[in-house]
Structure 1
């Protein structure tokens, strides 16, 4: 079971921030072989959803109020360390993220930019594709909405 913590940027410890950036780099840059600018200046306005197994960060997502990333409240940078994906922690971190958006931002609609190979994963969480696929940092993505 994950220990899920929700923090504003200013509440993150230096170690937590380092662990977040390391996890995102490990998966999005190294594992997916994608050179892109992860530190995009948006972390300071995001809510951070951290999933710990014991004391190790193994899952993460960042959340935005409407207007900070998309017109709708949104979830991004959803990531689980490779050796823990079989535990279904992606599901856990997404469910926690959806709950936080509903509780803290009164979200009735949530938008994500999903990597296309994860469509079924997001469909199972209630997200539906909208629009056409597009490349984001060289990886096929699709916009998805949950009502």
Structure 2
């Protein structure tokens, strides 16, 4: 998987369409969760893409800088056809490396995780910092990783 990170203004129209198509396919259709998936955070986030050799979008995450030397990983997805081959692990490991390169003063990475992925995120060192709550009808928990 070839990984690249681009600011919104550096995305081509085709890259942006692929990102939105995959995010809607998973977060809205697959998870049966109608909500405003495209938001203004996209304009300031770094878009981290995992591309297959044929160029299709295999995995994606949105990286954002936050106040107090913190960063956030959001909208983490792996294309349904590409699941089960470790692409999610590769994406998160590379996203953490990318955050350190983009924002070297970062001391904490935040994530709003779907609860069923608790063990997945714990495997990278994330720890829950909130009780489980419903976000758009799906159980979530806030987690942090101290760098």
Q: Classify the TM-score, shorter chain.
A: over 0.9
Q: Provide the C-alpha distance between the structure 2 equivalents of 1:71 and 1:134, rounded to a whole number of angstroms.
A: 26
TM-score when normalising by structure 1: 0.94
- SS in structure 1 at match of 2:35: coil
Q: Show CA shifts across 1:77-100 (max 9, x none).
A: 000011211111111111111111
- Deviation at residue 72 of structure 1 after TM alignment: 2.6
Deviation digits for residues 110-138 of structure 1, max 9, x if unmatched?
00000000000000011011121111111
* TM-score, scaled relative to structure 2: 0.94
Q: Tell me, which stretches of 5 or more residues in structure 1 are unaligned?
A: none
Residues 132 and 141, structure 2, Cα contact 8 Å, conserved in 1: yes
What number of residue pairs does the alignment pair up? 144
- Consecutive unaligned residues of structure 2, counting only runs of 5 or more, are none
1:73 and 2:56 matched: no
**What do you get for the CA RMSD once the two structures are aligned?**
1.3
Q: Does 1:114 align with 2:113?
A: yes
1:2-13 equivalent positions in 2, closer than 5 A? 2-13=1-12
